[in-house]
Every structure is written in structure tokens, then in C-alpha cells.
Amino acid sequence: MTHQSGTAEQNGKLNHGEESDVRRLVERAVTQAFEAKISQMQAHVVEQVLAALPARESSSDASAVGVTHSAQQWSSHLVQAVSNIHAGSSQKEILRALLDAGSGHCSRIGLFVVKAGTASGWQSRGFGDGDDPVKDFALDLNVGPSAHTFQYRVATPGNVAEMGAAFVQRFGTPADEQILVLPLTLKDKVAALVYADGGDSAKLDSAALELIVIATSAWLEVISLRKHATPKDDVDGSVPATSVPAEHAAPPVQTVSSFSDPFASHTPRHTPASITPELAAEVVEAVHARGAAAGAAPATATDPLAGLSAEDADVHRKAQRFARLLVDEIKLYNQAKVAEGRRNKDLYDRLKEDIDKSRGSFQKRYGSTAAASVDYFQQELMRSLAEDDISIMGPNFH
């Protein structure tokens, strides 16, 4: 019995070993089968997608390669266009880069600067040689695509006749009569309108133009912040040459004061007197660094977070950045509602769900931290959404 029992146990061990080998073989086979099936499924999905695309003149591999190559060229041109725009260090350079880049995706393009409720022509491409015909021409901001773009801050296609008789008489009619007006925004305001059409060739790539204008707006914001965050002494060059040793001197700051600023009326509304704690701290830190290099005593009295520990001050800065991110997200996905709410002074009613949800997110993250002593989310709502006018939020705002 003992011998038989031992034999059975031995056979059991052998069977268990064989089972492990079989399991590995099965797993390998199943894996290979799934890999093959996934490849087939991928091929099937590709075929389904290709079948759903609009019919082309040829479905050959050569045609598909040509389409891919065109898409790559389109993307490459856009990347280069954005790079050229971001290479500009002044508003004038950036606006010229915008027009140059845009002219590659339409036949005619012009920029009209908005000041005091009027839009005056600045420069253009493709409207003819010699003196720029767009210069100083006034767009009617009360009718057609120009009015819609200015009011709602969205790209607006239309027919050239909608631009008004004076416009058609001055610039003529594109071959297909189709035009596009885009908003160039700065500090939440429409700083300029970009007009584009296909001219005689009907070349008008709306998607590319929108991307180019958005990239330009973003870079203008960066340049504007750099300009207004730079200490006055650095901008006007009035710092005595002996105040900073040559080996520590910073390179000269390039500013936009050397030319007529087309966006001069769109400087930030928030002056240093109402500067936010986060930006104030960053500016003070920069001044401290310069003061230390020059042997000067840093002035900490202007830092609203100066009395806090380093950890608490960091929490305050993070809380304000998070509040700004939340409000920017609300504005990004509700542009039409924001414009209508500001105009009708019922902004909170239109955005109540988004505002309350974002407020809850902010409280969840920072409601029990050192930053709870300051309602940064409420401050950002007033600063960014209501433009420092509480009446814009409406009577139900709290």
C-alpha cells in the first residue's frame, strides 16, 4: 500500500508538471491567436473608415500616398507658420507674421485694428501692389460677419455682399463670393478683425486660418504680459550704467515702444495697484533677484504673502493658479454664453452649472488648506469673467 501510495504521489507530481507545460503551451497559442485576430480587426476597421470617406478619383495606393503627403505638407506649413509668429518679439512683427502666414492659406487677407468701437485697416496681403488699399479703411461693425465676429468672438463665414456696399466697391468680389472674418483677441477683447477670401482662385482654408489666428492671439498675450511685468527702469533704459556690474548686467529688454502700437488701447485693465497676489509675488521675487545682484536691499513690504511661511505661500500661489485654470476653462467652452451674459448682465444665470461645479472642485482641493482664508475662485470670477463689474454677474450671483 505504501509503495502504491508513493507511486500515485509521484504520478501526481508528474501530472502536475505536465499540466504546467500544457498551460504554457495553451497560453502561448491563445496569445498568438489573439494577436492574429487583433491584426485582422485593425485591418477591418481601416477598411471601414476608408469606405466611409468621400469617394476619390482613384483608390490606388499611389493616390493614398499622395493624400498622406498633402496632409503632411499642410501640417508642416502650419508648424512653420506658428514658429514664424512665435519668433516675433514685438506686436508689429507678430502681426506681419500673421498676415504672411495667412496668405499661404487664402488669396487675400487683411487686418483691421479695433479701437474705440471702430475697425480700421492696418495691413494686408494679396489686395494689389503699391499702396496698401486696406490701410485706414473702416469696417462696419454693425452688420454682417464683422458684427457677428466682433460681438461673439468667433470666426464667421459669409458672402462678400454682407460686408457692405462700400467694402465691395473698394475691394471687389472674390470668385466664389465667400469670405471669412476672424477675431484676434487680447485680454478677453477683440483687438482686431482678420478678413480673408479666396480672390480669383477661391483658395480659402478656414481651419488653417483659425489655427494661425489663435496662435497669434496666444503669443500676443505672452508679449503683452512680458511688457507690463517688466520693471519701468528696465523698459525705459533709465537705470544708471554703474548700478549693476557689467558682468551681471541683463541683456537689454526688447519692447514695443519703438513703433506705433496698433493695440495700444487694449492694454491690461489690471494695473499694479490691483495686481493679484500670485503675480505680485512673482514680480517681487524678480525685483529681489535684481536688487541682490545690484547690492540693493530687497523691498518685501509689497509682497502680500510676505508674512507667510514658504509652505503656506506656495499653497496660496497654487490655489490661485488652480482658480485661474478653472475660470479659463469655463470661458473656453462657453464663449457665446460669456459674451451674451456680459451684454445682458446675467452671466451667472447662464453659467450657473459650470460655475458651481468648478467652485466645488476648488473647495474640495483647497477648502481645508492655508489658502482657504482667501476665496481665490470668487476673485478670479470677478476679475476674469465679470471684468471687475459685479453687475455683469446678475442679481442671483453669490
**Confidence at residue 272, expressed as pLDDT on a 0 to 100 scale:** 34
- Three state DSSP letters for 136-171: CCEECCCCHHHHHHHHHCCCEEEEHHHHCHHHHHHH
Single out the residue of 220, 162, 157, 223 nearest to residue 191, CA to CA. 220
Arithmetic mean of pLDDT, 386-397: 90
User: In this predicted structure, which of 64-68, 142-146, 171-175, 298-302 has the lowest mean pLDDT?
Assistant: 298-302
For residues 80-100, average pLDDT: 88
Provide the pLDDT confidence category of residue 305 given band limits of 50, 70 and 90. confident
Q: 76-228 adopts what CATH topology?
A: Beta-Lactamase (3.30.450)
pTM (2 decimals)?
Answer: 0.47
Dihedral pair phi/psi, residue 222, rounded to 5°: -60, -45
Of residues 230 and 333, more confidence is placed in 333
* 20 pLDDT more than 90: no
The runs of H, that is alpha helices, within the chain are 2-52, 61-86, 91-102, 144-152, 165-171, 206-229, 232-236, 277-294, 310-333, 335-344, 347-366, 376-380
What pLDDT score was predicted for residue 247? Answer: 37
Instruction: Give mean pLDDT, residues 334-340.
Output: 89
Where does the chain hold its CATH 3.30.450.40 domain(s)?
76-228
Whether 90 contacts 256, CB under 8 Å: yes
pLDDT digits (tens, 9 = 90+) for 60-69: 454 555 555 5
Q: What is the pLDDT of residue 109?
A: 96
pLDDT of residue 30: 60
User: Mean pLDDT, the chain, as a whole number?
Assistant: 73
pLDDT of residue 124: 94
Using DSSP bridges, classify how beta strands 138-139 and 108-115 pair: parallel, antiparallel or unpaired: unpaired
Judge whether residue 98 has pLDDT over 90: yes
Examine the pLDDT at 286 and tell me if it is beyond 50.
no
Strands across the sheet containing 178-186? 138-139, 118-125, 108-115, 189-197, 178-186, 156-159
Q: Give the CA distances from residue 191 to residues 186, 218, 261, 384, in Å, rounded to whole numbers and listed in that order.
A: 6, 12, 12, 17
Residue 302: predicted pLDDT: 54
Higher pLDDT, 155 or 277: 155
pLDDT band at 314 (very low <50, low <70, confident <90, very high): confident
Q: How far apart are CA 269 and CA 253, in angstroms?
A: 23
Residue 17 is predicted with a pLDDT of 57
Average of per-residue pLDDT across 293-318: 67
Residue 209 and residue 194 in contact, taking contact as beta carbons nearer than 8 Å: yes
What local confidence, expressed as pLDDT, does residue 332 receive?
A: 79
Among 173-187, 250-264, 382-396, which stretch is predicted with the lowest mean pLDDT? 250-264
